[in-house]
Structure formats: structure tokens, C-alpha cells
């Protein structure tokens, strides 16, 4: 039974890595499905375990993007350092929070992202605009701090929220935003991963097979995004998020009765 569950988790992880590499939001697939498949494991331990495949998939996706996009390393390194510390802090807070607090919160996040994705049909297709250097750094610090804490504390949707932040605040187009979001997301995953390793909240027998699956999905997803663009992926992403939302909603409102 455990082997079958692990196989399902690897399939979920591959799908999450693929989707996350394209528009972010792989955690919206990976975390709810993992919570459903591993109901006997504490939420904090599940989240800690998933940081390993998330880091693995994001690493491969980031490499693919950086090969095609030349980021502003000065700004990006500052953002990554802040995001790493913020994610570590957020993960520390997570270890202090009751498990019952997480499921309703994740359901709300899923609903918000699904609605936004449906109505925002030009998601990631905005044209790049220029900001002053100081403005970019102010926005960069705010994005890294807030979403770093969010990723460590909650997690799902961080990639999508980073892309949205880079598009709406920084003025980058989809490909630029995806490239930069992957680098910052890589840093938040690493910060959280350190905390969960120190706390001993990672089940390596689950994390490592999922990491391989997520890495393959991330590599293929990034290549697909660079080649195909966003419109088809937006629809694909919306379908997966909606399906996960329905399953998780059942678990929150009906399954818990």
C-alpha cells in the first residue's frame, strides 16, 4: 500500500514540477494531494518533506530559464538572500502552528488563485516597463520578504504569486518574471529546507523519490514554457487547480465531518 502511495506521490510531484516551472503554483498541486495521500503524517512534516522535491524541481527549472534569460544579478542576489531568511523564519512559525489551521487556509488560497487565473486571461503577457533602480530594489525587498515568509509558513502558490508580483510591480513580461521567480523561489525553498532538516521534519524515503520526479517535471516544464508560451498553460493550470480545489474542498467541508 505504501509503495502504491509513493508511486502516486511521485506522479503528483512530476505534475507539480512541470506546472510550477511554467506558471508557478506547483505547490497547489503537490501539497493538497500529499496531505490527502498522507493523512496520518503531521502537516508540518508533510510540508517539510515536500521542500526537498520543490527545491529539486525549481533548481532544474531555474537553470533552464537562466540559460535563456540574463537576470540582473545584483538585484536578484539581494532578493534571494532576503527571501532565504524570510522563508526560514516563516518555516519556524509553521512548526508552532496547529495542524487544524492549515486546511481551511489552503482551501481559501486555492479558491483565490483559481478565480484569479480564470479571469486574468492575459496573465503573464504584459509588456515590460522601466522602473528606477531604487524603485526596483524597494519592490524587490518587499516581494522577497513577504513571499519568503509566506512560502516558509504556507507554501502553495508561491511561484505563481512571485510571477504575479514581478509582472504587476516590477513590470517584467512573462518569461522574465518566470525566470526571476524561479531564482527567488529556489532561495525560499532552500531557507525552509534548512529549518525542516534541523527540526528533523523530513521523511527522506518519501522526499528523495519525489525530488527526482519533480526535477524531471521542472526541466521539461521550463523547456515547454520557453517554447510554447502561456495561453495553453494557463488553461492547463486552471484545470489542475480547479480539480485540486474540489478534492480539497471535499476534505475540508465534508470529509472532516
DSSP 230: S
**Is the pLDDT confidence value at 255 over 80?**
no
Q: Among 46-55, 75-84, 246-255, name the one with the lowest average pLDDT.
A: 246-255
Structural domain including 212 reads: 2-255
Mean pLDDT of 121-125: 57
Tell me, rounded to whole angstroms, the distance of Cα 173 from its chain centroid.
19
What's the pLDDT at 47? 85
Count of domains for the chain: 1
**Short-list 16, 43, 33, CA closest to 158:** 16
Cβ atoms of 166 and 181 closer than 8 Å: yes
Amino acid at each position: 500500500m505504501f509503495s502504491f502511495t509513493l508511486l502516486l506521490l511521485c506522479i503528483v510531484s512530476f505534475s507539480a514540477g512541470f506546472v510550477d516551472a511554467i506558471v508557478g503554483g506547483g505547490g497547489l498541486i503537490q501539497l493538497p494531494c500529499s496531505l490527502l495521500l498522507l493523512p496520518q503524517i503531521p502537516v508540518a512534516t508533510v510540508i517539510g518533506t515536500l521542500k526537498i522535491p520543490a527545491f529539486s524541481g525549481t533548481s532544474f527549472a531555474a537553470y533552464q530559464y537562466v540559460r535563456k534569460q540574463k537576470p540582473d544579478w545584483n538585484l536578484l542576489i539581494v532578493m534571494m538572500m532576503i527571501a532565504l531568511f524570510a522563508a526560514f523564519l516563516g518555516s519556524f512559525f509553521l512548526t508552532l502552528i496547529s495542524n487544524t489551521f492549515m486546511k481551511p487556509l489552503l482551501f481559501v488560497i486555492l479558491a483565490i488563485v483559481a478565480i484569479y487565473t480564470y479571469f486574468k486571461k492575459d496573465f503573464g503577457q504584459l509588456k515590460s516597463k522601466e522602473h528606477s533602480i531604487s524603485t526596483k530594489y524597494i519592490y524587490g525587498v518587499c516581494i522577497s520578504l513577504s513571499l519568503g515568509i509566506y512560502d516558509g509558513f504556507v507554501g502553495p502558490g508561491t511561484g505563481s504569486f512571485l510571477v504575479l508580483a514581478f509582472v504587476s510591480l516590477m513590470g517584467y513580461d512573462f518569461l522574465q518574471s518566470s525566470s526571476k521567480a524561479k531564482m527567488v523561489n529556489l532561495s525560499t525553498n532552500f531557507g525552509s529546507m534548512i529549518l525542516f532538516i534541523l527540526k528533523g521534519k523530513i521523511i527522506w524515503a518519501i522526499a528523495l523519490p519525489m525530488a527526482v520526479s519533480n526535477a524531471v517535471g521542472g526541466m521539461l516544464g521550463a523547456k515547454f514554457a520557453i517554447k510554447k508560451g502561456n495561453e495553453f498553460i494557463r488553461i492547463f493550470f486552471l484545470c489542475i487547480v480547479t480539480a485540486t480545489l474540489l478534492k480539497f474542498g471535499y476534505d475540508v467541508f465534508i470529509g472532516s465531518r
